[in-house]
Amino acid sequence: MPSRASNSPITQFQNCRILYKHKIIREDLWVRDGKILNPESLFFVEKGYADYKLDCNNCIISPGFIDAQINGAFGVDFSSDPDSLAEGLQRVSKKLLAHGVTSYCPTIITSSPETYRQILPQIRRTNGSHNGAGILGIHVEGPFISKDKPGAHPVDLIHDCSQPSGFQQFLEVYHSLDNVAILTLAPESCQSSDVVTRLTREGIVVSLGHSVANLPQAEDAVRNGASFITHLFNAMLPFHHRDPGIVGLLTSDQIPPGQTVFYGMIADGIHTNPAALRIAYRAHPKGIVLVTDAIAATGLPSGIHQLGSVTVQVDDDRAYVAGTQTLSGSIATMDSCVRHFKQATGCSTVQALEAASLHPAQLLKIDHIKGTLDYGTEADLVFLDDDLNVKRTYIGGKMVWESASIPTEQLTSRPYL
């Protein structure tokens, strides 16, 4: 009789609907050693069984959400106060679990070289656990962006890397790119053939944003490896029928075969009109990546807050650079963005959930381990009701957060061998 591949306990999630291969199906989910099991192999090869059965109360089970752009939250700003950054990361990582986020990319806005030298080495890739969501690497947004489209970024710290020393300037400013997963730049301010190619070769996702680039400049950056657009429509030239700019990448016929251009959308109902959200999604549904672009004020009352060196005024559900009408990130959470995206576009539940899980995993080239419920992937799970409210969050098959509105976890151990 074949022996089990592992002596670790197996949990069978029952009475659930799982997001599997672009469909929501009524099926059990099997987990061992933090990974999703193929039940056929378990039954017919190992002759195995479940050690525990869990009643999921008819919840939808989705892969954990991945936030590729978050500046901070819950009183923590990743771009300031390096001395308290470690504690701040722990706080945010823990609180994100309540919103279904199991991994994320802390985002650092345009800062001084001294600030980068202090902050970037502290933000290391970590696995998620009961202590909080995992960190997939840093998203550095700037300082190689356009002074004409700074958004909330401090203009005096923006750099121009159009001179021959382009890539060397990056190393001088950031000091090290070891912990960087995504880098936002304006393609017109950089030597795409050198800088974008070099960054891509280092395994860094190059994102186009805070830019006045025309469509040919954006297409050239994509040919050299750029694969993401930072918060589409925001901090870039508006769409024009004779030159659609970076927005035109969504329907460009110059994208290399086999390459997908992904684009971030802040689906908070404020940064992008629902009609524009529908236009982008219907033009390129497989590329949308929901991001929060959240700032320290997320989860806090209205008032004055910080975003790096920028002072932010929050009134109700909007955050502005103090004294202006310039939006400065959002105070949205990922689960609220998923719900708004579904409502605004009329997309299916599957499409809404994949925009926050599968697509960011594909962008970061980690969809073989995260972003799906395929066999062998990590069991980072979100339990949701039919209105897409988060009920439970699991990392590695272990519950790390639970809503008080549902019954306590019901585990049945193994009397059914």
Binding-site members are 141, 152, 210, 231, 234-235, 242, 271, 327-329
- b/e per residue 196-210 (b: at least 16 CB within 10 A): bbbbbeeebbbbbbb
Quick check: is 380 catalytic? no
- Catalytic residue (one of 268, 293, 367, 380): 293
Annotated binding residues for substrate, written as ranges, equal 152, 234-235, 242, 271, 327-329
3-state secondary structure of 306: strand
Rounded CA gap, 72 and 105, in Å?
Answer: 10
What is d(CA 71, CA 108) in angstroms, rounded to the nearest whole number?
6
**Two tokens at 215?**
């469509």
Helix residue ranges, H only, 158-308 = 166-174, 195-201, 215-223, 274-283
User: Residue by residue, what is the 3-state secondary structure of 49-64?
Assistant: CCCEEEECCCCEEEEC
**Which structure tokens are listed for 196?**
């974008």
Distance CA 368, CA 79 (A): 31
CB atoms within 10 A of CB 266: 25
**Cα dist. 257→46, 195, 253, 280, 305 in Å?**
42, 22, 10, 21, 44
Three-state SS for 289? strand
Q: Which residues are annotated as a binding site for Zn(2+)?
A: 141, 210, 231
Categorise residue 232: left if φ over 0, alpha if ψ from -120 to 50, beta otherwise: beta
State the pairing for strand pair 228-229/262-265: parallel
Catalytic center residues: 293
